[in-house]
Structure 1
Amino acid sequence: MVSSLKIKVEEREGKSFLRDAYVTQPFRITPVGQYKSDGAAYLMITSTSPGILSGDVYEIDVTIEKNARLQLQSQSYQRLFNMEGSASQTMVVNMGKSSSFSYVPHPVVPHEDSNFKSVNTITIADDCELTISEIITCGRKHYGETFQYAHFQNLLEVYHHDRLILKDNVLLKPELMPLHSLGLLEGFTHQGTLTYLNTKNENVTELVEHFYKELENLTDVTYGISEIQTDGFVIRILGNGGEQMFNFFKKVEESLWEKAVAISN
C-alpha cells in the first residue's frame, strides 16, 4: 500500500504554523506544541497501523518555508513486521532560507525476515539549522529475534546549492555481515546516529566538546562524535538499549533547539 504525508510549514509575524497538510491512511499529523512559547511549529506523525508491513511504501514530503521552524516528532517505536517481500520509506525535506528542522524519531524495531529501505533527501538553504537522528535495534530481543531481520538500510543525503554536502548510509544485512565484529556493532545490539549541521557559518567546535562530555555520562555504551566538513557534527552510539539512546538524542535536540531560540531572540 502506498501511503503519503505532505506538510508545509510557514512563518508569519514570528510564528510558525502548519499551512497545508495532506495525508492518506494510515498517517495522521497532530499539533503537539500548543503550550510552547517559542513560536515554532511542533507536529507529531501518528499512524493507525501497528507498524510497516510487506509491500508498504511510505512517502513523506516536508516543506519548511523561509524563517519557519519545525520540530517533527514520532508517535512510538516503529515496527517493521515479518515480510515476504519488502517495504520502503522516502522522506523529502525542503528547507527555505533561515529555516530550522529537527526530527528525532523513536527507535526502529525490525522483526524477523523484515526487509526495509529508507531514503531521506534534504535540501537546505542558507542560514538554516538541521538536526536528524536514527536508532536501529536488533529486533525483538526478548522473543529470540536478535538480528533475525533480512535487510535494513537508511540513507541520508543533504544538499546545499545543489551540492551534496553530507551522505550517510547505514546498511545492515545480518545473514551476510558479521555484525558483532570489530568495525560493525562490536558485540552491541543497538546503533544510534544523530546528525546536526548549519549553513549559518557557525562553528560547532564548542558544541562538539560539550556533547562529548555529556556522552561520558552514558553507561554500557561506546560512542564517538565527529565534526564534519560543513558546520556540523555526527554522534554515533553503540549500546544494548534503544530507550537510553533515544533519551540522550532528545536531550541533544532540546539543547540545540534552545540555543537557536536564544540566538534568535
Structure 2
Amino acid sequence: MISSLKVKIEQREGTSFLKDAYVTQPFRIVPVGQYKRDKAAHLMIMSSSPGLLDNDDHQLEFNLAPNTRMQLQTQAYQRLYHMENKSTQTTLINLESGSGFSFVPHPVVPQNQSTFISHNKAYLQDDCHFLLSDIITCGRKLSGEEFMYNHFQNLTEIYHHNKLVVKDNVLLQPQKLPIQGMGILEGFTHQGTLIYYNTANVLVSDFIDFFQETYGEQENIEFGISKLEGNGFIIRVLAQGAEKLFEAFQKIQQKVWEEAYL
C-alpha cells in the first residue's frame, strides 16, 4: 500500500506553525509543542498501522519556509513484519533559507524475513540546520528472532544548492554478511547513526569534543564521532539495547537544538 504524508511549515511573527498537511492512511500528523517556548513547530507522526507490511511504500515530504524550525518525533517503535517482497520509505526534506529540521525517530525492529529500504534526501539553502538519526535493532530478541531479517538499508543524502555534500549508506544483510564480525557490529546487537549538518557557518568542533567526552568512555557501548566536510558531524554507536541509544540521541538532539538552532 502506498501511504503519503506531506507537511508545510510557515512562520508568523517568528513563530513556526503547521501551515498545511496532507496524509493518507495510516498516517496522522499532530502538533505536540503547544507549550514549548522555542517558537518552533513540534510535530508527531502517528500511525494506525502496527508497522510496515509487505509491499508498503511510505512517502514522506517536509517543506520548511524561510526562517522556520521544526522538530519531528514518532509515537512508538517502527516494526517491520515478515515479508515475501519488501517495504520502502522515501523521505524528502526541503529547507529554505534560515530554517532548521530535527528528527530523532524511535528505533526500528525488523522481524523474521523482513526487507526494508529507506532513502532520505534533504535539500538545504543557506543558513540551515539539519539533524537526522536512525536506530536499527537486532529484531525480536526475546522471541528468538535475533538477526533473522533479510535486508535493512538506510541511505541519506544531503544537498546544498543542489550539490551533494553528505552521503551515508547503512546496509545490513545478516544472511549474507558476518553481522557480528569485525568491522560490522562486533558482538553488539543495536546500531545507531546520527547526522548533523549546517549551512549557517556554525562550527562543530565544540560539539564533537563535548559528545566524545560525554559518550566516548561509557560502558557497554562503542561510540564514534567524525567531522564531515563542511560544518557537520556523523555519530555511530553500537550497543546492546535500543532505549540507551534512543535516550542518548534525544540528549544529543537537545544539545544541538539549544545551542545551534536557537
TM-score (normalised: structure 1): 0.97
Identity over aligned pairs, percent: 52
- What residue in structure 1 maps to residue 163 of structure 2? 163
Q: Deviation per CA, 1:77-102, whole angstroms, max 9, x where unpaired?
A: 00000111111000000000000000
Q: In structure 1, what is the Cα distance between the partners aligned to 2:87 and 2:107?
A: 17
State the secondary structure of the residue aligned to 2:238.
strand
State the secondary structure of the residue aligned to 1:155.
strand
Alpha-carbon shift at residue 217 of structure 1 (Å): 5.6
- What residue in structure 1 maps to residue 195 of structure 2? 195
- What residue in structure 1 maps to residue 6 of structure 2? 6
Q: In structure 2, what is the Cα distance between the partners aligned to 1:74 and 1:137?
A: 16
Over 3 Å counting, the alpha-carbon distance change for 1:230 and 1:33 in structure 2 is: same
Amino acid at match of 1:65: A
- What residue in structure 1 maps to residue 60 of structure 2? 60
Alpha-carbon shift at residue 230 of structure 1 (Å): 1.4
- What residue in structure 2 maps to residue 72 of structure 1? 72
Amino acid at match of 1:174: P
Q: Deviation per CA, 1:160-208, whole angstroms, max 9, x where unpaired?
A: 0111000000011111111111110011010000111110112111110
Gaps of 5+ in 2: none
Alpha-carbon shift at residue 219 of structure 1 (Å): 2.2
- What residue in structure 2 maps to residue 104 of structure 1? 104
List structure 1 runs of 4+ shifted beyond 2 angstroms. 216-219
Q: Does 1:229 align with 2:240?
A: no
Q: Deviation per CA, 1:53-95, whole angstroms, max 9, x where unpaired?
A: 0010000010011000000101110000011111100000000
Over 3 Å counting, the alpha-carbon distance change for 1:243 and 1:66 in structure 2 is: same
Q: In structure 1, what is the Cα distance between the partners aligned to 2:169 and 2:48?
A: 29
Q: In structure 2, what is the Cα distance between the partners aligned to 1:196 and 1:261?
A: 12
Gaps of 5+ in 1: none
Q: In structure 2, what is the Cα distance between the partners aligned to 1:217 and 1:5?
A: 40
* Number of aligned residue pairs: 262
Contact 1:124–1:158 (CA under 8 A) maintained in structure 2: yes
State the secondary structure of the residue aligned to 2:214.
helix
Contact 1:112–1:149 (CA under 8 A) maintained in structure 2: yes
Q: In structure 2, what is the Cα distance between the partners aligned to 1:197 and 1:134?
A: 15
Q: In structure 2, what is the Cα distance between the partners aligned to 1:69 and 1:11?
A: 9
Contact 1:38–1:261 (CA under 8 A) maintained in structure 2: no
Q: Deviation per CA, 1:136-166, whole angstroms, max 9, x where unpaired?
A: 0000000110100011100000000111000
Q: In structure 2, what is the Cα distance between the partners aligned to 1:2 and 1:216?
A: 41
Contact 1:4–1:58 (CA under 8 A) maintained in structure 2: yes
C-alpha RMSD of the superposition: 0.8
TM-score (normalised: structure 2): 0.98
Alpha-carbon shift at residue 258 of structure 1 (Å): 1.0
State the secondary structure of the residue aligned to 1:211.
helix
Contact 1:121–1:157 (CA under 8 A) maintained in structure 2: yes
Q: In structure 2, what is the Cα distance between the partners aligned to 1:177 and 1:217?
A: 28
State the secondary structure of the residue aligned to 2:39.
coil
Contact 2:99–2:128 (CA under 8 A) maintained in structure 1: yes
The 5 Å alignment of 1:37-52 reads 37-52=37-52
Contact 1:201–1:231 (CA under 8 A) maintained in structure 2: yes
Q: Does 1:147 align with 2:147?
A: yes
- What residue in structure 1 maps to residue 181 of structure 2? 181
